[in-house]
Amino acid sequence: MQTIMSVGIDVGTSTTQVVFSRLSMDDSGGFFSVPRVSIVDKEVVYKSEVYLTPLVSDVWIDTDALKEIVAGEYARAGFSPSDMSSGAVIITGESARKENADAVLESLSGFAGDFVVSAAGPDMESLIAGKGSGAFQYSIDHHARVANLDIGGGTTNVVIFDDGAVTARGCLDIGGRLIRVDEGSGLVRISPAAAKVAAAEGIQLRPGQKADLVSLTRVTDRMARVLEGYLGLGPEDVLTPALKTPGSSDFERPGHPDAVFFSGGVADLIYHPAAEDLKYGDIGVLLGRSIRGSRLCSDFHMGEPGETIRATVVGAGSYTTTISGSTISYSEDIFPLKNIPVVKLDEALQASLFRGEKDEVAARIRWYQAQNDVSLLILAMPGKRDPGYGEMKLAAAAIYEIMDQLLPAGAPVLLVIECDIAKAMGQMIRQLPGMDRQVVAIDSIQVSDGEYVDMGRPLMNGMVIPVVVKTLIFG
């Protein structure tokens, strides 16, 4: 058994939080079998208080104040960045669209330890919030199709788990801080998304006018109806395309979920309604009330999450890291590797490699390089079960020749293969005449085109590599 520490830092539209978790790994393989290392336990050891995300303006995050928050929580928890082996700095919701979002992540990198991913993106947030809330585990325990709606200040991230498998994920600009009011109940800010919803209801909202609860409730009721249609309760609302969050996936409406979980700041107001209509200076209470009265809560079994407002940060600290398979091959002293883009081959392109053909795969990589200014990339493929020795030799030679031609001098050959042939492939590439590049070949990791991968230093006496698969989106 080996343990590592993991940190999660979530900078959201409304709130910022930090959590520290302990991940335990063990080898479940038998004495005479291939090692099978997996993360067997996740324990949250410290949760910060919930802070309001510090802003200089509507489009600018206060990086100095944010660094003070994170530094203070490290001190209170009794940890230093060097104690962290894994985790994530996640900037979510409308915060990911602030003008200095990338600078914010850079400013927090000093707290990230040796292997902590800095990432943003609605698809990733959907997934880790669903894991942090408990919806993921519920779907496994009950062999059920479960929806998790993570409703924050600026966005609602939706993921569908079917017996643990992710079958759909997406994000809409629906949240509790999209309309803000001052202490005198005057409208302070109406986001573009909220203005679209209001206009669809024939309502005009302007900063400075008195908040009208009837009109604001009509807006939140319509938001709830959009979410109903998103989950397949009746036809899709005509507003849905206009409210799709930039960078999110197209959401394939699921079959009828067996249960629905809510997380995020608005979730507390769904499970535990507040009496004061504008309690937090926004429409969060009204949105929670509208959702509680909608078909989302009457037509589905309503699960009780283990975490609501902390679901994303708990997921970031505990669930972003996965473990490679044990049949891997790598060069020493190359780790950690961070933010390496993925070029994923489909079955047809992979088949051409196993025939020793190079042109189509080379063209695919050249196209990707033309679209993205990158010096390193990961070549990913599904892998072939029980390939012949001759096929492996052809594929190894083709991969190396392609990568040697297209990568800059000294860049390593990086492979991610879903099935357990990475070690054999990596060793064959390493043995090729004239091969002078470092090689990393790992398996049992699923990635998609356009994603990014971080790899940490090997664990469990070098048997496995900690991996984070992510999507980086700044709109």
Q: Which residue has the higher pLDDT, 239 or 108?
A: 239
Buried (b) or exposed (e) across 185-218, using 16+ Cβ within 10 A?
Answer: eebeebbebbbebbebeebebeeeeebeeeebbb
Interval 347-391: pLDDT, tens: 999 999 999 999 999 999 998 888 887 889 999 999 988 899 999
Give the residue carrying structure tokens 């790992």: 442
* Residues 6 or more apart whose Cβ sits within 8 Å of residue 50: 15, 16, 17, 309, 310
Residue 274 Cα to chain centre, angstroms: 30
Look at residue 475 in the predicted model and tell me its pLDDT.
Answer: 40
Look at residue 318 in the predicted model and tell me its pLDDT.
Answer: 76
Give residue 472's pLDDT band: very low, low, confident or very high (50, 70, 90): low
**Is the model's pLDDT at 120 over the cut of 70?**
no
The pTM score is: 0.80
Look at residue 346 in the predicted model and tell me its pLDDT.
Answer: 92
* Residues 6 or more apart whose Cβ sits within 8 Å of residue 73: 18, 48
Look at residue 246 in the predicted model and tell me its pLDDT.
Answer: 87
**Cβ–Cβ < 8 Å for 99, 58:** no
**Cβ–Cβ < 8 Å for 151, 324:** no
Cα distance between residue 10 and residue 16, in whole Å: 6
Look at residue 462 in the predicted model and tell me its pLDDT.
Answer: 78
Look at residue 31 in the predicted model and tell me its pLDDT.
Answer: 45
DSSP string, 431-470: TSTT--S-EEEEES----TT-EEEE---BTTTTB-EEEEE
Q: CATH number of the domain at 125-309, please?
A: 3.30.420
Name the nearest CA neighbour of 400 among 369, 347, 371, 439. Answer: 439
Cα distance between residue 108 and residue 102, in whole Å: 10
Q: Where do the structural domains in the chain lie, given as residue ranges?
A: 2-119, 125-309, 325-470
**Cβ–Cβ < 8 Å for 13, 317:** no
Cα distance between residue 426 and residue 314, in whole Å: 35
Q: Which CATH architecture has domain 2-119?
A: 2-Layer Sandwich (3.30)
Number of C-alpha atoms within 13 angstroms, CB side, residue 239? 23
Give residue 248's pLDDT band: very low, low, confident or very high (50, 70, 90): confident
Look at residue 252 in the predicted model and tell me its pLDDT.
Answer: 87
Same fold for the domain at 2-119 and the one at 125-309? yes
Look at residue 298 in the predicted model and tell me its pLDDT.
Answer: 96
**Is the model's pLDDT at 14 over the cut of 90?**
no
Interval 443-466: pLDDT, tens: 888 888 878 888 888 887 778 888
Q: Which residue has the higher pLDDT, 287 or 3?
A: 287
- H/E stretch holding 121 reads none
Residue 101 sits at φ, ψ, to 5 deg, of -60, -45
Interval 18-40: pLDDT, tens: 999 999 888 665 444 445 566 77
Lowest mean pLDDT among 47-51, 88-92, 150-154, 206-210: 88-92
